[in-house]
Amino acid sequence: MRATIKDVAKEAGVSPATVSFILNNKPVSISEATRERVLTAVKKLQYRPNQLAISLVTNTTNTIGVILPDSTNPFFASLSHHMEEKLRSKNMTVIIGNTNGDPVITRKYLQIFSDRRVDGIVLAQLDFEDEEETVKCQELMRNIDIPIIYVDRVIEGCDHYSIAVDQTKIGYLATKYLLSLGHRRIGCASGSIRLKVNANRYHGYTMALHEFGLESDSALLFCDSLSIDCGCKALPCLLGHNVSAIFAFNDMIAYGIYKECKNYNLIIPNDLSVIGVDDIYFSDLLQPPLTTISQPVNEIADEAVKVLLELIANTSKSFSPVKLNPVLKVRGSVKNLSES
Amino acid sequence: MRATIKDVAKEAGVSPATVSFILNNKPVSISEATRERVLTAVKKLQYRPNQLAISLVTNTTNTIGVILPDSTNPFFASLSHHMEEKLRSKNMTVIIGNTNGDPVITRKYLQIFSDRRVDGIVLAQLDFEDEEETVKCQELMRNIDIPIIYVDRVIEGCDHYSIAVDQTKIGYLATKYLLSLGHRRIGCASGSIRLKVNANRYHGYTMALHEFGLESDSALLFCDSLSIDCGCKALPCLLGHNVSAIFAFNDMIAYGIYKECKNYNLIIPNDLSVIGVDDIYFSDLLQPPLTTISQPVNEIADEAVKVLLELIANTSKSFSPVKLNPVLKVRGSVKNLSES
DNA sequence: TTGTAGGCGTTATCAA
DNA sequence: TTGATAACGCCTACAA
């Protein structure tokens, strides 16, 4: 059985309070003699404080709950891994919840994390197919008296702390790049367009088109999910509409397109150009290496942790959502049409 | 402020005990009238039990601590993701700890998880470069009165519950396949050979060689780490020894080899054959698709959760380490030399 | 310099 | 059918 503070106290012949004082370096003067006795008792009994008990009384758990769509996607894996590293140095632990984009699971985790009294929550998706679900989540969050910070797939203009990358800009950058290389019929392989992330990327897409005097064609928008599977399905569909390039709304989708291109015996970028979003570290390994819009994962993670810790410490500065910039990574998956 | 059980009791005009009975469906008879009063009070105050308090008294936290080398490696990401899904249905949560293979961080997480009184721990690496570190970890674990189960990078023959894939067989399968296609000079790109995983894979490698009447040549063994980086470094080195094929001790290493092959203008599998281990879902996307030895991640996760829950429930059956079988996945990265 | 005692939010054991 | 009350393991005023 694990020793308790009482055991230590008894062993050292002092009161539990004294042990607590010493172990927590409280500013009370303790004689060297007793301090030593206590410390040896601690060692002898291999005493370690029960964090549950401490949490109950101090009302802090040193735990951050992180709710992700899918930790199997390297983008989110990197995000949480990076946060964890940052937090570990502060002796904080990370609890992970994967939702698969399901609002019900999202709410479940919000409740669980709240019930466990985590010190803060990082939420990577608050926006769902069904708007009602989003509203339900927001209601739930209002009832949770825990600092929450949004990350990645956030809703713009909502009155909450958030770290986000400019999604419209992502769509704009990707599309403009394709246009500048002579592409005119550009297909989109997107997740649900009801999600703001995707809607915004699509908006950026149309903005770029307009700049080139083009109108967007809804036939060129294929919607499914932000997964490999989506790319597989999108390819034949968009090919049927004679696109010369596909803007995949994330790298996973792009992977699906790569995969399916093999089946159709298509060579990227000769037969089809592809551009992705996220810059997962595998994208560089593909043949050809995937040109993509990179999101600064580490920065997102750093900022999220920073702001969240401030929130927890109640150093709550004025509300200002952080917006980070995406960056175009030119590699080998887009063909220059104007050259040929 | 969050309502407590006392608030509910007061609101309903009953004692806290009664509230607790009702909420936990204890087998005590409660009049319909009071039950209803309590339930409406709960709703009105939006009462939710504080899990910390519950944990303190019940001595269970419904939490499993998972300690991984690197959750950014899709193999481990899948592992933990799958466990989490399984556990979620049992209302259990997963805490993640990434160690980067560092024994000090490993121990730190063991302590943290123990101090937080998790119900069980899944440990994916117990074996380190420095044997002393391994011993230290084992000592620590002996002092932790929490069920621990090893997974993946385990030590064979140790007296603990473990779910593992037969690592020797992995090496054997991979090598035999290469040999059967006519390869004779086969390089190994490995992590530290002091780790049992790698040593065992190498042992399987030599077994297969012997079967073909060949001796292993230490010059063909390149050791670094189980990462992309290792593959990059291994390529020029092994190439210098005239290998026709490289056995990468995991897929990440194989990716590094792919990456570096581009710089050397080498075509896989024409100029060099490569085989990996793990069968990460990206391996299928590479050009050419990576031939690899697949480890049954989902089975590992399922078994680990199953055994761990049994251990926790004290249904501790007789000790018997589970050993799962690896499977060769033939794809396109190995050339048949006997054909040419 | 150290000890006593109340409280954190529950559950659980008795009584009533 | 319900209510006191003692744990659980710790922190922290307040006393001594």
Q: What is the CATH number of the domain that holds B17?
A: 1.10.260.40
Helix, strand and coil content of chain B, in percent to the nearest 5, comes to 45, 15, 40
Same domain? For B138 and B191 the reply is no
Tens-digit pLDDT string for chain B (340 aa): 789 999 999 999 999 999 999 999 888 888 888 899 999 999 999 999 999 999 999 999 999 999 999 999 999 999 999 999 999 988 899 999 999 999 999 999 999 999 999 999 999 988 899 999 999 999 999 889 899 999 987 666 566 788 989 999 999 999 999 999 999 999 999 999 999 999 999 999 999 999 999 999 999 999 999 999 999 999 999 999 999 999 999 999 999 999 999 999 999 999 999 999 999 999 999 999 999 999 999 999 999 999 999 999 876 665 677 889 999 999 999 999 987 5
B331 touches chain A (CB under 8 A): no
Range in A29-38, A68-77, B57-66, B175-184 with the lowest mean pLDDT:
A29-38
Instruction: Say if residue A317's pLDDT is above 70.
Output: no
Q: Examine residue A123 and state whether it is found in any structural domain, yes or no.
A: yes
Same domain? For A226 and A262 the reply is yes
Nucleotides of C under 7 A from a protein CB: 1-5, 7-13
Nearest to A77 among B63, B71, B84 (CB): B71
Nearest to A72 among B55, B74, B96 (CB): B74
Helix (H, G, I), strand (E, B) or coil at A84: helix
Same domain? For A19 and A90 the reply is no
Q: Examine residue A56 and state whether it is found in any structural domain, yes or no.
A: no
Q: Examine residue B118 and state whether it is found in any structural domain, yes or no.
A: yes
Q: Rounded to an integer, what distance in angstroms lies between the CA atom of residue A58 and that of residue B28?
A: 34
A114 touches chain B (CB under 8 A): yes
* Phi/psi at B235 (5° precision): -55, -60
Q: Which of B52, B64, B88, B93 to mutate to test the interface with A (most CBs of A within 10 A)?
A: B52
Q: Are B75 and B297 in contact (CB under 8 A)?
A: yes
Q: Examine residue A54 and state whether it is found in any structural domain, yes or no.
A: no
- Answer whether any strand D atom is within 7 A of the Cβ of A57: yes
The secondary element (H helix, E strand) that includes residue B139 is helix B131-142
Q: Rounded to an integer, what distance in angstroms lies between the CA atom of residue B309 and that of residue A328?
A: 47
The secondary element (H helix, E strand) that includes residue B257 is helix B251-263
Q: Report the distance from CA of residue A42 to the C1' of nucleotide D6 in Å, as an integer.
A: 27
Here the tokens at position B281 are 């879902």
Cβ distance A98 to B85 less than 8 Å, yes or no, reads yes
B159 touches chain A (CB under 8 A): no
> Which is it for strands B327-329 and B291-294: parallel, antiparallel or unpaired?
antiparallel
Helices (H), A46-154: 51-58, 74-88, 103-115, 131-142
A64 touches chain B (CB under 8 A): no
- Answer whether any strand C atom is within 7 A of the Cβ of A58: no
Here the tokens at position A40 are 């040896």
Same domain? For A161 and A91 the reply is yes
End-to-end C-alpha distance for chain B, whole angstroms: 77
Q: Rounded to an integer, what distance in angstroms lies between the CA atom of residue B37 and that of residue A61?
A: 33
Q: Considering only CB atoms, which chain A residues are within 8 Å of B61?
A: 52
- The number of folded domains in chain A is 3
CATH number at residue A84: 3.40.50.2300
- Predicted TM-score (pTM) above 0.85: yes
End-to-end C-alpha distance for chain A, whole angstroms: 77
Residue A36 structural domain: 5-49
Interhelix angle for B74-88 vs A74-88, to 10°?
Answer: 80
Q: Are B231 and B215 in contact (CB under 8 A)?
A: no
Same domain? For B95 and B146 the reply is yes
Residue type, A237: C
Q: Examine residue B54 and state whether it is found in any structural domain, yes or no.
A: no
Same domain? For A118 and A223 the reply is no
Same domain? For B188 and B335 the reply is yes
Indicate the DSSP class of residue A222.
E
Dihedral sign computed on CA atoms, order A32, A33, A34, A35 = positive
B284 touches chain A (CB under 8 A): yes
Q: Report the distance from CA of residue B36 to the C1' of nucleotide D1 in Å, as an integer.
A: 14
Q: For the CA atoms of A61, B96, A2, B26, what is the dihedral angle to 10 degrees?
A: 70
- Answer whether any strand C atom is within 7 A of the Cβ of B71: no
